[in-house]
């Protein structure tokens, strides 16, 4: 069997548009997930039992339900509740971001609790408020310790963006499916898609590892 990749030259702009959407929704979802996860993680750690219980419902729910189901529910069912529809890209970003936020929240909580309690007591003894102690002393160390696992979540989010194709987000996988439907060449098309995902994800993983090696000492306590 002979495989011919030359036909993809006619579709490179089309696929490049899918790559751009993949990068865009991944970056936006990572931003949403990091902000939500950071707030939830800090609140669960220092907000007391009632806050921890309430927020744990969000975390456990998002971690227990498949991302595919979350995306489909947000795009098709949520408008029936809110009365407002949203574009596939908005729904994709929201679903990916909220799903990621639950995992980031657990990562943040683990990072915060890994810092020795004596550092909080020392910060309070120096006259800092609890909020200042967390922001200035505890959180910077925790963020460094979280970096390797956070890098893994970044890569997972980039890969999970492909699931958004089920709600018609025109990202890379969705565009490649269109190309296959027109050319009937799934091997060549999806092989190139695999390589593109690797080219996107590998530098992110290695870049985070490189940064962590350079600043790992800042998380020691």
- pLDDT tens string 129-141: 889 999 998 999 9
| High-pLDDT (> 90) share of the chain, % | 83
Q: How many CA atoms lie within 13 A of 85 on its CB side?
A: 4
How does residue 80 score in pLDDT terms, banded at 50, 70 and 90?
very high
Question: Looking at the predicted structure, is the pLDDT value of residue 154 above 90?
Answer: yes
Say if pTM beats, i.e. exceeds, 0.75: yes
Handedness of CA 201, 204, 207, 212 (dihedral sign): negative
Per-residue pLDDT, averaged over 2-20, amounts to 92
Cβ proximity of 133 and 123 under 8 Å: yes
CA-atom Rg of the chain in angstroms: 21
Per-residue pLDDT, averaged over 65-88, amounts to 94
Q: How many helices (H) and strands (E) does the chain have?
A: 10, 0
What rounded mean pLDDT belongs to the chain? 93
**Residue 90, token pair as written in the block:** 């908005």
Cβ proximity of 196 and 172 under 8 Å: yes
Question: Looking at the predicted structure, is the pLDDT value of residue 83 above 80?
Answer: yes
How does residue 218 score in pLDDT terms, banded at 50, 70 and 90?
confident
137/18 Cα distance (integer angstroms): 42
How does residue 52 score in pLDDT terms, banded at 50, 70 and 90?
very high
In angstroms, how far is the first alpha carbon of the chain from the final one?
60
Bigger pLDDT: 176 or 4? 176
> Among 21-25, 117-121, 155-159, where is mean pLDDT lowest?
117-121
> Among 51-60, 67-76, 136-145, where is mean pLDDT lowest?
136-145
Cβ proximity of 29 and 90 under 8 Å: no
| High-pLDDT (> 70) share of the chain, % | 98
Closest-CA residue to 170 (of 20, 10, 13) = 20
103/9 Cα distance (integer angstroms): 39
Domain boundaries, the chain: 6-219
Instruction: Report, at the CATH architecture level, how domain 6-219 is classified.
Output: Orthogonal Bundle (1.10)
């Amino acid at each position: 069997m002979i495989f011919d990749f030359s036909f993809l030259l006619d579709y490179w702009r089309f696929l490049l548009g899918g790559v751009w959407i993949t990068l865009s929704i991944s970056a936006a979802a990572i931003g949403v997930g990091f902000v939500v996860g950071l707030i939830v993680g800090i609140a669960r750690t220092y907000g007391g039992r009632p806050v921890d219980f309430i927020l744990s419902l969000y975390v456990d729910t998002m971690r227990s339900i498949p991302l595919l189901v979350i995306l489909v529910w947000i795009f098709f069912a949520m408008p029936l509740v809110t009365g407002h529809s949203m574009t596939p890209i908005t729904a994709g970003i929201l679903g990916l971001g909220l799903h990621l936020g639950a995992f980031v929240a657990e990562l943040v909580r683990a990072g915060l609790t890994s810092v020795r309690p004596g550092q909080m007591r020392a910060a309070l003894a120096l006259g800092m408020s609890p909020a200042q102690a967390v922001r200035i002393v505890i959180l910077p160390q925790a963020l460094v310790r979280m970096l390797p696992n956070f890098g893994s979540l970044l890569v997972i989010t980039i890969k999970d963006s492909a699931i958004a194709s089920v709600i018609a987000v025109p990202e890379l996988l969705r565009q490649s499916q269109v190309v296959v439907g027109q050319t009937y060449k799934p091997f060549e098309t999806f092989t190139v898609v695999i390589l593109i995902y690797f080219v996107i994800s590998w530098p992110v993983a290695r870049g985070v590892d490189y940064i962590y090696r350079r600043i790992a000492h800042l998380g020691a306590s």
